[in-house]
Structure 1
Amino acid sequence: MGLFSIITLLAVYLAIFLIGMTVMRSGLLQLSEERTKGYLTKFTDMPWKGLLIGILITGLLQSSSAVMVITVGLVAAGYLTFYQSIGIMLGSNIGSTFITELITIDISQLIFPMLIIGFLFLFSKKKLPFSFGSSIFGLGCLFVAMNGFESLAIPLAGFPSVQDMLAMTNDHHLFGVGIGTLLTAVIQSSSATTGISMSFLNNDLLSLPAGIAIMLGANIGTCVTAFLASIGSIREAKLTAYAHIWLNVIGVAVFFPLIPWLSGLVSMLASSADVQLAHSSLIFNVISSALALPFVRPFARFVERLHG
């Protein structure tokens, strides 16, 4: 298989993954968009409440980027303050790890039925069946894409340039952080970046510490969406986007020296490489958010002084 064919197939599977995320999210939004805005505005007066709401909504919508775009929009509209938005950010980082845990489950025999059932329900004019169909069909697309990434990992790694990149990532973890940041900024999905890393991990082409480095970078790259949403908005909306960037950059900076420790910990928790990477994402985001939660007010002042 030639390099052009592999890259074309990789682009197709990536498109399937992103389409699956979009379809699944759109179905859930049909039911919960107004409710989501209500929860965000009513129950975020304290940072810990915002964190819980951020986890809940991001877990439901399966996209921290979508939640951050909604949050920036609500801040811009005056429904939320910049201070209230920080708790939601912390929760959205935790909620975003659910999809990476989900795609490690082996349900290969159920993928085709999920696609058929979901596709049929998409023709329903009623909100509940349509939402169910969108969720099932979108989830099926995610697993199709993951299987595709897996099948392309070894052929792709056969090319010298890719081998050099993998070797560089295995040897220099900071390079892995850069790859994760750049790839996520381009494709607008940290879950897809992590999914691609999992395929290399499962084929022993990428070390677990290198996969963790890419995952850390993906957390920075996912901030691009909220930043773009804040362009042209009021000052508080821009502060929200800047705070999202700083939270993730600081979290990654703190955890970067701890990659060997995190790698050893998740190796004890699971035997499968993709599950280990999913667990590392969960642990990183839970610890980062828990450590940041008591310092929300001084952190808000820091962002206001820096970008005011």
Structure 2
Amino acid sequence: MFSIITLMAIYLAIFLIGMTVMRSGLLQLSEDRTKNFITKFTDYPWKGLLIGIIITGLLQSSSAVMVITVGLVAAGYLSFYQSIGIMLGSNIGSTFITELITIDITPFIFPILILGFILLFSKRKLPFSFGSTMFGLGCLFVAMNGFESLAAPLSTFPKVQEFLTLTNEHHLFGVGIGTLLTAIIQSSSATTGISMSFLSHDLLSLQAGIAIMLGANIGTCVTGYLASIGSIKEAKLTAFAHIWLNVIGVTLFFPLIPFLSRFVELLASSADVQLAHSSLIFNIICSVLALPFAKQFAKFVERIHG
């Protein structure tokens, strides 16, 4: 079992490295515009939502966007109220990577890695950025294939079987696992990716996978909270608002897991795609429903943590 756990840790490290390298490449392509986009076009919550979607889609990390947002609020470039639209958009943008990793590009993984690796040696910004993006993307798919190959061997161990049974039978346990795992590894995409590997082997039910996904949305708030420690009051309010937004959304959606499960089963036949779709639907609905109440939500957070 130790060797399998070691391999799982290695693939997880490859996934996180891939995310970091790809994010670095995309950020270098847009680093001069990212802060300008955020500071200039967030005077209304709906604009902030669109900016949050775009920037998170580019950086492939809602945590990174929240760290940037908390930093801008702390520096006085953004108000706490302006940050709410961005966090709503970042939740939607974070689902793009889960949709992406469900695509089967196995024959192209090795060429993508090789070409990306070669471009990493370029001294010019544009080729280097493209190389980083391609190499990081290749690492993501290598890790996903690794997760899938280890799912079946892992399930043969009694403790893992107990864990899977408990998660399948008690969805609240799945939410807790998703929250804890994401808080530790700082990537909701990685948590969802691991869940997909068990789903593909019918070791985890779709409803249990959705529960873990919901928990991952809470766990991803930890990064923004850590970034706010020691900052001004408005920066801390931004971090608290992100936590409240996801906790409320998960609380409201938790009883609807069976309905969401049946709905996404109509949209796709593959379990991993169904889970990706459920993440997208959850975040879109939560953000769209919360958007008209951005001002009231801001006052609620200020009242609680003011």
TM > 0.5: yes
Which amino acid in the other structure matches residue 65 of structure 2? V
Which amino acid in the other structure matches residue 129 of structure 2? S
Q: How does 1:149-228 map to 2 (within 5 A)?
A: 149-228=147-226
Q: Which residue of structure 1 lines up, in the alignment, with residue 228 of structure 2?
A: 230
Quote the Cα distance in structure 1 between the aligned partners of 2:189 and 2:96.
Answer: 10
Q: Which residue of structure 1 lines up, in the alignment, with residue 34 of structure 2?
A: 36
Distance apart, 1:31 and its partner CA? 1.7
Q: How does 1:9-20 map to 2 (within 5 A)?
A: 9-20=7-18
Quote the Cα distance in structure 1 between the aligned partners of 2:225 and 2:244.
Answer: 12
Q: Which residue of structure 1 lines up, in the alignment, with residue 295 of structure 2?
A: 297
Which amino acid in the other structure matches residue 89 of structure 1? M
Distance apart, 1:215 and its partner CA? 0.1
The Cα offsets for residues 223-279 of structure 1, whole Å up to 9 and x where unpaired, read as 000000000000000000000000000000000000000000000000000000000
Which amino acid in the other structure matches residue 260 of structure 1? P
Among 68, 78, 90, the alignment partner of 1:70 is 68
The Cα offsets for residues 134-180 of structure 1, whole Å up to 9 and x where unpaired, read as 00000000000000000000111111111001000000000000000
TM-score of the superposition, structure 1-length normalised? 0.99
Quote the Cα distance in structure 2 between the aligned partners of 1:128 and 1:65.
Answer: 25
Quote the Cα distance in structure 2 between the aligned partners of 1:285 and 1:295.
Answer: 16
Which amino acid in the other structure matches residue 66 of structure 1? A
Q: How does 1:91-170 map to 2 (within 5 A)?
A: 91-170=89-168
Q: Structure 2, unaligned stretches of length 5 or more? A: none
SS at match of 1:118: helix
Quote the Cα distance in structure 1 between the aligned partners of 2:159 and 2:287.
Answer: 37
Kept in 1, the 8 Å contact 2:84–2:238? The answer is: yes
SS at match of 1:45: coil
Kept in 1, the 8 Å contact 2:113–2:135? The answer is: yes
Distance apart, 1:28 and its partner CA? 1.0
Quote the Cα distance in structure 1 between the aligned partners of 2:31 and 2:129.
Answer: 12
SS at match of 2:96: helix
Q: Structure 1, unaligned stretches of length 5 or more? A: none
Q: Which residue of structure 2 lines up, in the alignment, with residue 281 of structure 1?
A: 279
RMSD: 0.4
The Cα offsets for residues 186-244 of structure 1, whole Å up to 9 and x where unpaired, read as 00000000000000000000000000000000000000000000000000000000000
Quote the Cα distance in structure 2 between the aligned partners of 1:283 and 1:303.
Answer: 25
Which amino acid in the other structure matches residue 28 of structure 1? L
Which amino acid in the other structure matches residue 229 of structure 2? I
SS at match of 1:204: coil
Distance apart, 1:34 and its partner CA? 2.4
Distance apart, 1:70 and its partner CA? 0.2
Quote the Cα distance in structure 2 between the aligned partners of 1:36 and 1:167.
Answer: 44
Moved over 2 A (4+): none
Quote the Cα distance in structure 1 between the aligned partners of 2:156 and 2:233.
Answer: 49
Quote the Cα distance in structure 1 between the aligned partners of 2:284 and 2:176.
Answer: 22
Kept in 1, the 8 Å contact 2:27–2:58? The answer is: no
Distance apart, 1:33 and its partner CA? 1.6
The Cα offsets for residues 11-58 of structure 1, whole Å up to 9 and x where unpaired, read as 000000000000000011112122100000000000000000000000
